[in-house]
Structure 1
Amino acid sequence: MSQPEHGQQPYPGSQPGWGGQPQWGGQPGWPAGQGGGQFWQGQPTPGWPGNPVYGQPLYVAPPKPGIIPLRPLQFGEILDGSFQTIRRNAASMFGSALIVQAIAAALLGIVTVAMLQVAESLETVETTAEFDEFLGPFIAIVAGALGVSLLVGFLGAVLQGVMVVPVSRSVLNRRTGFKQMWKLAAGRIPALLGVAALLTFAGLLAVAAVVGIAVLLFTAMGPVALVIVFPLGLGGVVVFLWIGLKLMFAPAAIVVERLGVYDGLLRSWHLTKNNWWRIFGITLVVSLMVGIIAQIVQIPVSLAATAIGAVVTPHPDPETITSTMVVTTVISMVIGALVGSVTFAFQTSVSALIYMDLRMRRDGLDVEFMRLMETGADPEGIPGSQAPAQGNTWPPSAGHAPGTPPGSWPTA
């Protein structure tokens, strides 16, 4: 009996028949199984997943070094990754959001207290001259409230770009402190201020245009203009929402890819191509979630503050009522700032992970993350700043196994 030649190891399963040994450079001579395919005697019928046919690759799951697996993401993975990012980088994520929310709460508290005082003085208005005197401060307070809202939106756009830094680093399990986050994003602050100012001004201009057209129509046509104004306003909201989601990832692109204002807006527009409805669905669900959670937290606090005020001053006078309302407002603002900082950090993390997901689908950012994971390059930088060559998209084309660089298969 002859033995297999040196260097030729028999494959698992039952031994092949003598005389049918595979030769280098040719096809193996295993006996043919049912169905005409060639496989080893004693091996199970070829299938997936199971023992593969000779030469067929095994599936290897993509690695998950940090908060998400290095492949295009599902909705649940985006939510889980957002929670993990906040938990691992609490100081940078929660602390930064709390600063902005505290500023907003303080300004809104001042406006609210001023509104309470003006409303109290309205009870003493009896003549037209006194009403005219009341109207001036009232308009100023409304303008102040609008200005605070614009400021919060402006700071939120800037902070959205800054907070993408810990999210990107958490993908490779790199923690980011408060100081390190702002240091890494410091060079992109001017561009973030520019894009935030541009988006805020464009939004304000759009609202002013719609309101101006509505006023002109009502002035010229009277109540009949409602037939035109209502669909016009509805269409304006739809267009505003569509453009807003298309430009939603400009701050993230400016920070991670080191782009300018115009290039960042153009990059966001291209990334969202053919993905608008998916982004809209995720954003809507997350917004509803955080809105419900915020209401669940704030409603009991408001009720408790009202009950405490009723117990402390069961027979209040007007001055006591005003003081109680001020204290209640301050407490509500503090609780609102704490809840708002958590919800803002969560929404920002979701937005950043959607941005990562779009880049993994379009230009193979997962391959770049794998390279950084294997080499350990730039441990103190922002991962994802160097985009790989175009064409490494998901799902993989022929000859590309999931979780491996293009052109190679994982070994069994």
Structure 2
Amino acid sequence: MSQPQHGQDGVPGNQPAWGNQPPPSNQPAWGNQPQWGGPPAWAAPQAGGPGQPAPGWAPGAPYGQPLYVAPPKPGVIPLRPLQFGEILDGSFQTIRRNAAAMFGSALIVQAIGAVLIGAVTVGMVQMTSSLETVNSEEEFLEAMGPVFAVMAGALGISVLIGFLGSVLQGVLVVPVARSVLNRRTGFKQMWMLAGRRVWPLLGVAALLTVGGLLAVAAVAGIVVLLFTAMGPAALLVVLPVGLGSIVLFVWIGLKLMLAPAAIVVERTGVYDGLLRSWQLTRNNWWRIFGITLVVAIMVGIIAQIVQIPASLAATAIGGVVSPHPDQETVASTMVVTTVISSAIGALVGSVTFAFQASVLALLYMDLRMRRDGLDVELMRLMETGADPDGIPGAPSSQPGSTGQPPGGGHFPYTPPGQRPPA
């Protein structure tokens, strides 16, 4: 019996020759092994198995990391604590969406102030021209009486404009708060919602105005007494006292400036509104000061940019109308230019005042979101659509509210889910 030769099939049952062995079933060929970090060469399991996602689903967040969900933004701001740019953008959007309510109300107040200031300016110019004909000391003293009266009138007008501005600041919170949930507010609707809070607003405006005047009078009296007792050497004491008084006045003013907003939105009284503003601004004074200062600088620059061309145009008109003026022509030209400047000033002032009031209202909403979790309540209102004609954040829109101030009128109020102090 002959032996099988090398390379021939010598195994019973027709076994294949050496080197022709078939590869194991469903195994990848040599050199086609799956690489580290690459996709596997074997087939993926069928969808629908236990613990397998359905085909077409988006991959989730990495293991151990929460999936980020952006806060909703139904209106002019996102429902979370705000940044400086969001406050500015929200203020511009609020004015644009509620122009009749905000711009119209501010224009009324500014127009009243412009008319009164224009009248005082014209009277002052006429009295100044009459001083040129004075020939004796008695006539000078008689002429200075009306001048001092006009100056006192100008001071009273300034106080009146500040008083009305404080009241209007509280009223303008209504369209700002409603714009947070993309609810537009008309002129009539704004005053109807804020009308019930007019008396507390008048009270807090009067209290702040009288308090400011008394503080200024006290500082002026101290300065006069120091100069009377010490003479020129009192300047060494007056300068630190004056600077300290200004710092104290600004600090207290910023601590209490949110009282009108709290009175309108949270339906508090005068005392509770002042206390609420004091507590909301706690640990946030420097942030509020920075935002208020930047906005004031912006508003001042814009007002000057607009007023300078208007003043130049009024001067040019006077030069064209009367190139060789006499005294009567000068007075007439002064009246015309004062009217033009007052009208332009009223328009610019209404826009800047509405913008500043919007910034303060959004600061109030921001502080409440930081301290009281107001954003959670606003999300609930957004989802349910409750109280569509009310003021978001008011006690009537909170669950189980009786229409009274939060916490029974005692602040600080701590609703469920309160954040730590910002």
Q: Does TM, normalized by the shorter one, top 0.5?
A: yes
The CA deviation at 1:8 is: 3.1
Q: Which residue of 1 aligns with 2:52?
A: 10
Alignment root-mean-square deviation, CA:
2.1
Q: Which residue of 1 aligns with 2:415?
A: 389
Which whole-Å CA distance do the structure 2 matches of 1:5 and 1:227 have between them?
Answer: 86
TM-score between both structures, scaled by the size of structure 2:
0.82
Residue deviations 1:51-104 (CA, integer Å, cap 9, x gap): 424575311000000000000000000000000000000000000000000000
2:89 to 77, 80, 83: 80
Q: Which residue of 1 aligns with 2:319?
A: 310
Superposed, 1:165-314 pairs within 5 Å as 165-314=174-323
CA contact (8 A) 1:368 1:384 kept: yes
Q: Which residue of 1 aligns with 2:366?
A: 357
Which whole-Å CA distance do the structure 2 matches of 1:237 and 1:259 have between them?
Answer: 29
The alignment status of 1:337 with 2:346, answered yes or no, reads yes
Which whole-Å CA distance do the structure 2 matches of 1:326 and 1:160 have between them?
Answer: 32
Which whole-Å CA distance do the structure 2 matches of 1:177 and 1:167 have between them?
Answer: 12
Identity %: 75
Of the two, which has the highest radius of gyration? 2
Which whole-Å CA distance do the structure 1 matches of 2:301 and 2:416 have between them?
Answer: 41
2:66 to 44, 50, 57: 57
Q: Which residue of 2 aligns with 1:153?
A: 162
Residue deviations 1:116-162 (CA, integer Å, cap 9, x gap): 01100111112111011012101101110010000000000000000
CA contact (8 A) 2:48 2:54 kept: no
Q: Which residue identity is paired with 2:163?
A: F
CA contact (8 A) 1:85 1:170 kept: yes
The CA deviation at 1:232 is: 0.7
**Cα pair distance change 1:147/1:5, threshold 3 Å:** closer
Superposed, 1:87-98 pairs within 5 Å as 87-98=96-107
CA contact (8 A) 1:364 1:394 kept: no
Which whole-Å CA distance do the structure 1 matches of 2:327 and 2:279 have between them?
Answer: 58
CA contact (8 A) 2:47 2:53 kept: no
Q: Which residue identity is paired with 1:220?
A: A
TM-score between both structures, scaled by the size of structure 1:
0.84
2:334 to 297, 319, 325: 325
Instruction: Report SS of the residue matched to 1:105.
Output: helix
**Cα pair distance change 1:336/1:99, threshold 3 Å:** same
Which whole-Å CA distance do the structure 2 matches of 1:394 and 1:68 have between them?
Answer: 22
**Cα pair distance change 1:334/1:56, threshold 3 Å:** same
In structure 1, stretches of 5+ residues that fail to align are: 14-42, 44-49, 397-412
Aligned residues: 359
The CA deviation at 1:326 is: 1.1
Instruction: Report SS of the residue matched to 1:123.
Output: helix
CA contact (8 A) 2:106 2:351 kept: yes
Which whole-Å CA distance do the structure 2 matches of 1:390 and 1:225 have between them?
Answer: 56
Q: Which moved more, 1:51-60 or 1:258-267?
A: 51-60
Superposed, 1:394-405 pairs within 5 Å as none
Runs of at least 4 residues of structure 1 off by over 6 A?
A: 3-7
**Cα pair distance change 1:9/1:118, threshold 3 Å:** same
**Cα pair distance change 1:270/1:142, threshold 3 Å:** same
Q: Which residue of 2 aligns with 1:400?
A: none
In structure 2, stretches of 5+ residues that fail to align are: 1-44, 399-413
CA contact (8 A) 1:158 1:193 kept: yes
Residue deviations 1:311-336 (CA, integer Å, cap 9, x gap): 11110101101110111011000000
Residue deviations 1:347-384 (CA, integer Å, cap 9, x gap): 00000000100000001010010000000000000001
